[in-house]
Protein backbone atom coordinates (compact mmCIF):
# COMPACT_ATOMS: atom_id res chain seq x y z
CA UNK A 1 0.00 0.00 0.00
CA UNK A 2 3.02 2.32 -0.02
CA UNK A 3 3.78 4.74 -2.85
CA UNK A 4 6.76 4.16 -5.18
CA UNK A 5 8.99 6.61 -3.33
CA UNK A 6 8.40 5.09 0.11
CA UNK A 7 8.88 1.56 -1.21
CA UNK A 8 12.17 2.72 -2.71
CA UNK A 9 13.22 4.31 0.58
CA UNK A 10 12.62 1.12 2.59
CA UNK A 11 14.42 -0.95 -0.05
CA UNK A 12 17.44 1.36 0.28
CA UNK A 13 17.51 1.02 4.07
CA UNK A 14 17.15 -2.76 3.72
CA UNK A 15 20.05 -2.77 1.25
CA UNK A 16 22.18 -0.79 3.68
CA UNK A 17 21.33 -3.28 6.43
CA UNK A 18 22.25 -6.19 4.14
CA UNK A 19 25.59 -4.55 3.31
CA UNK A 20 26.44 -4.16 7.00
CA UNK A 21 25.46 -7.80 7.67
CA UNK A 22 27.70 -8.97 4.82
CA UNK A 23 30.67 -7.11 6.28
CA UNK A 24 30.00 -8.73 9.67
CA UNK A 25 29.87 -12.20 8.10
CA UNK A 26 32.95 -11.64 5.95
CA UNK A 27 35.15 -10.39 8.80
CA UNK A 28 33.91 -12.55 11.67
CA UNK A 29 35.79 -13.42 14.85
CA UNK A 30 36.29 -17.14 14.24
CA UNK A 31 38.61 -17.91 17.11
CA UNK A 32 39.75 -15.81 20.05
CA UNK A 33 43.12 -17.09 21.16
CA UNK A 34 45.46 -15.34 23.57
CA UNK A 35 47.03 -12.39 21.79
CA UNK A 36 46.16 -13.60 18.30
CA UNK A 37 42.43 -13.63 17.34
CA UNK A 38 41.53 -15.22 14.00
CA UNK A 39 39.12 -13.34 11.70
CA UNK A 40 37.56 -14.49 8.44
CA UNK A 41 34.38 -15.39 6.53
CA UNK A 42 31.72 -17.25 8.51
CA UNK A 43 29.53 -19.28 6.15
CA UNK A 44 27.25 -20.45 8.97
CA UNK A 45 26.51 -16.87 10.02
CA UNK A 46 25.94 -15.84 6.39
CA UNK A 47 23.44 -18.69 6.01
CA UNK A 48 21.64 -17.66 9.20
CA UNK A 49 21.19 -14.10 7.93
CA UNK A 50 20.45 -14.72 4.24
CA UNK A 51 19.36 -18.31 3.56
CA UNK A 52 15.73 -18.47 2.27
CA UNK A 53 14.77 -21.17 4.76
CA UNK A 54 16.53 -19.62 7.75
CA UNK A 55 15.00 -16.17 7.04
CA UNK A 56 11.56 -17.40 5.89
CA UNK A 57 12.16 -16.11 2.38
CA UNK A 58 13.48 -12.69 3.40
CA UNK A 59 17.19 -13.35 2.74
CA UNK A 60 17.11 -13.22 -1.09
CA UNK A 61 14.98 -10.06 -0.94
CA UNK A 62 17.58 -8.42 1.31
CA UNK A 63 20.31 -9.24 -1.19
CA UNK A 64 18.21 -7.86 -4.06
CA UNK A 65 17.85 -4.65 -2.08
CA UNK A 66 21.64 -4.55 -1.71
CA UNK A 67 21.98 -4.54 -5.49
CA UNK A 68 19.24 -1.90 -5.72
CA UNK A 69 21.19 0.33 -3.35
CA UNK A 70 24.38 -0.30 -5.34
CA UNK A 71 22.65 0.78 -8.57
CA UNK A 72 21.32 3.94 -6.90
CA UNK A 73 24.77 5.04 -5.73
CA UNK A 74 26.34 4.04 -9.05
CA UNK A 75 23.76 6.18 -10.83
CA UNK A 76 24.52 9.11 -8.50
CA UNK A 77 28.24 8.91 -9.27
CA UNK A 78 27.57 9.06 -13.00
CA UNK A 79 25.18 12.00 -12.54
CA UNK A 80 27.54 14.09 -10.41
CA UNK A 81 30.51 13.75 -12.80
CA UNK A 82 29.92 17.17 -14.50
CA UNK A 83 30.19 18.85 -11.08
CA UNK A 84 33.77 17.59 -10.64
CA UNK A 85 34.83 17.76 -14.30
CA UNK A 86 34.82 21.56 -14.20
CA UNK A 87 38.28 23.17 -14.05
CA UNK A 88 37.20 25.36 -11.14
CA UNK A 89 36.76 22.33 -8.86
CA UNK A 90 39.82 21.14 -6.95
CA UNK A 91 40.22 18.58 -4.18
CA UNK A 92 42.22 20.31 -1.47
CA UNK A 93 44.44 17.90 0.42
CA UNK A 94 47.11 20.44 1.33
CA UNK A 95 49.50 19.15 -1.34
CA UNK A 96 49.24 20.42 -4.94
CA UNK A 97 50.52 17.20 -6.49
CA UNK A 98 48.15 15.06 -4.42
CA UNK A 99 45.27 17.42 -5.29
CA UNK A 100 45.76 16.80 -9.01
CA UNK A 101 46.31 13.07 -8.54
CA UNK A 102 43.18 12.72 -6.37
CA UNK A 103 41.04 14.53 -8.93
CA UNK A 104 42.40 12.36 -11.76
CA UNK A 105 41.58 9.18 -9.84
CA UNK A 106 38.09 10.49 -9.04
CA UNK A 107 37.43 11.34 -12.69
CA UNK A 108 38.58 7.84 -13.65
CA UNK A 109 35.89 6.43 -11.34
CA UNK A 110 33.27 8.64 -13.00
CA UNK A 111 34.45 7.48 -16.42
CA UNK A 112 33.96 3.85 -15.39
CA UNK A 113 30.46 4.52 -14.01
CA UNK A 114 29.42 6.21 -17.26
CA UNK A 115 30.39 3.11 -19.24
CA UNK A 116 28.01 0.97 -17.17
CA UNK A 117 24.49 0.47 -18.52
CA UNK A 118 22.12 2.00 -15.98
CA UNK A 119 19.14 -0.06 -14.79
CA UNK A 120 17.48 2.62 -12.70
CA UNK A 121 15.69 5.82 -13.74
CA UNK A 122 15.03 8.22 -10.88
CA UNK A 123 12.69 10.35 -13.04
CA UNK A 124 9.82 8.05 -12.10
CA UNK A 125 10.21 9.15 -8.47
CA UNK A 126 8.67 12.36 -7.10
CA UNK A 127 6.87 12.78 -10.42
CA UNK A 128 3.55 13.84 -8.85
CA UNK A 129 2.45 17.32 -7.84
CA UNK A 130 5.27 19.64 -6.75
CA UNK A 131 3.84 20.35 -3.30
CA UNK A 132 3.50 16.66 -2.45
CA UNK A 133 6.95 15.87 -3.85
CA UNK A 134 8.56 18.64 -1.80
CA UNK A 135 6.85 17.40 1.36
CA UNK A 136 7.98 13.80 0.69
CA UNK A 137 11.59 14.86 0.06
CA UNK A 138 11.61 16.72 3.37
CA UNK A 139 10.21 13.62 5.06
CA UNK A 140 13.05 11.55 3.59
CA UNK A 141 15.61 14.10 4.78
CA UNK A 142 14.25 13.88 8.33
CA UNK A 143 14.28 10.07 8.17
CA UNK A 144 17.99 10.09 7.30
CA UNK A 145 18.64 12.59 10.07
CA UNK A 146 16.89 10.31 12.58
CA UNK A 147 18.80 7.25 11.36
CA UNK A 148 22.06 9.15 11.83
CA UNK A 149 21.02 10.05 15.38
CA UNK A 150 20.22 6.40 16.12
CA UNK A 151 23.79 5.57 15.06
CA UNK A 152 25.01 7.67 18.00
CA UNK A 153 23.66 4.96 20.33
CA UNK A 154 25.96 2.29 18.84
CA UNK A 155 28.60 1.33 21.40
CA UNK A 156 31.41 0.40 18.98
CA UNK A 157 33.21 3.53 17.73
CA UNK A 158 34.20 1.88 14.45
CA UNK A 159 30.67 0.62 13.75
CA UNK A 160 29.20 4.02 14.60
CA UNK A 161 31.64 5.80 12.27
CA UNK A 162 30.95 3.52 9.29
CA UNK A 163 27.22 3.50 9.96
CA UNK A 164 26.98 7.28 9.97
CA UNK A 165 29.27 7.56 6.95
CA UNK A 166 27.23 5.11 4.86
CA UNK A 167 23.97 6.79 5.88
CA UNK A 168 25.29 10.19 4.83
CA UNK A 169 26.69 8.68 1.62
CA UNK A 170 23.23 7.40 0.71
CA UNK A 171 21.67 10.75 1.56
CA UNK A 172 24.24 12.49 -0.67
CA UNK A 173 23.48 10.07 -3.52
CA UNK A 174 19.76 10.94 -3.33
CA UNK A 175 20.59 14.64 -3.18
CA UNK A 176 22.53 14.25 -6.44
CA UNK A 177 19.82 12.23 -8.20
CA UNK A 178 17.18 14.85 -7.50
CA UNK A 179 19.41 17.79 -8.51
CA UNK A 180 20.12 16.81 -12.13
CA UNK A 181 18.93 20.11 -13.64
CA UNK A 182 20.99 22.15 -11.17
CA UNK A 183 24.12 20.09 -11.94
CA UNK A 184 23.69 20.44 -15.70
CA UNK A 185 23.35 24.23 -15.45
CA UNK A 186 26.47 24.77 -13.31
CA UNK A 187 28.90 27.43 -14.62
CA UNK A 188 32.22 26.12 -15.93
CA UNK A 189 34.61 28.69 -14.48
CA UNK A 190 32.87 30.14 -11.43
CA UNK A 191 31.75 28.85 -8.02
CA UNK A 192 28.72 26.58 -7.90
CA UNK A 193 25.27 28.13 -7.63
CA UNK A 194 22.19 26.05 -6.97
CA UNK A 195 24.11 22.86 -6.19
CA UNK A 196 27.01 22.33 -3.82
CA UNK A 197 28.64 19.36 -2.12
CA UNK A 198 30.53 19.76 1.12
CA UNK A 199 33.86 18.05 1.71
CA UNK A 200 32.12 15.74 4.20
CA UNK A 201 29.45 14.77 1.64
CA UNK A 202 32.09 13.96 -0.99
CA UNK A 203 34.05 11.78 1.44
CA UNK A 204 30.85 10.00 2.54
CA UNK A 205 29.66 9.41 -1.04
CA UNK A 206 32.91 7.83 -2.25
CA UNK A 207 33.53 5.75 0.88
CA UNK A 208 29.93 4.53 1.05
CA UNK A 209 30.17 3.34 -2.55
CA UNK A 210 33.45 1.65 -1.68
CA UNK A 211 31.79 -0.26 1.16
CA UNK A 212 28.95 -1.34 -1.12
CA UNK A 213 31.41 -2.51 -3.76
CA UNK A 214 33.18 -4.56 -1.09
CA UNK A 215 29.84 -6.06 -0.03
CA UNK A 216 29.13 -7.16 -3.61
CA UNK A 217 32.58 -8.74 -3.82
CA UNK A 218 32.15 -10.52 -0.48
CA UNK A 219 28.78 -11.84 -1.65
CA UNK A 220 30.49 -13.47 -4.63
CA UNK A 221 33.07 -14.99 -2.26
CA UNK A 222 30.30 -16.49 -0.12
CA UNK A 223 28.69 -18.00 -3.21
CA UNK A 224 31.97 -19.80 -3.94
CA UNK A 225 32.35 -20.93 -0.31
CA UNK A 226 28.77 -22.29 -0.27
CA UNK A 227 29.41 -24.28 -3.45
CA UNK A 228 32.54 -25.77 -1.88
CA UNK A 229 30.69 -26.87 1.26
CA UNK A 230 27.94 -28.71 -0.65
pLDDT, tens digit, 9 for 90 and up, residues 85-115: 887 777 777 777 888 888 889 889 888 887 8
Please, which pLDDT band fits residue 116 given cuts at 50, 70 and 90?
Answer: confident
Please, which pLDDT band fits residue 133 given cuts at 50, 70 and 90?
Answer: low
pLDDT at residue number 145: 78
Average the pLDDT over 114-118 and give the result: 76
pTM for the whole structure? 0.85
Position 140 pLDDT exceeds 90: no
200-227 pLDDT, tens digit each = 899 999 999 999 999 999 999 999 999 9
Percent of the chain with pLDDT over 90: 27
pLDDT at residue number 194: 73
What's the CA gap between 107 and 95, in Å, rounded?
A: 18
Structural domain range at position 159 = 2-229
Domain total in the chain: 1
The answer for residues whose C-beta is within 8 angstroms of residue 205's C-beta and 6 or more apart is 73, 76, 77, 80, 169, 172, 173, 176, 197
Amino acid sequence: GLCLEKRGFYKLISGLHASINLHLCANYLLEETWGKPRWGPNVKEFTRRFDPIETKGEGPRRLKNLYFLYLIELRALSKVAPYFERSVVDLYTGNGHEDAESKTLLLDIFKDTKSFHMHFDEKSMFAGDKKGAKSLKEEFRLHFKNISRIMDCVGCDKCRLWGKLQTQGLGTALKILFSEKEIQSLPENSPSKGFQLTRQEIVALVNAFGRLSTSIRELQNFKILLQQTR
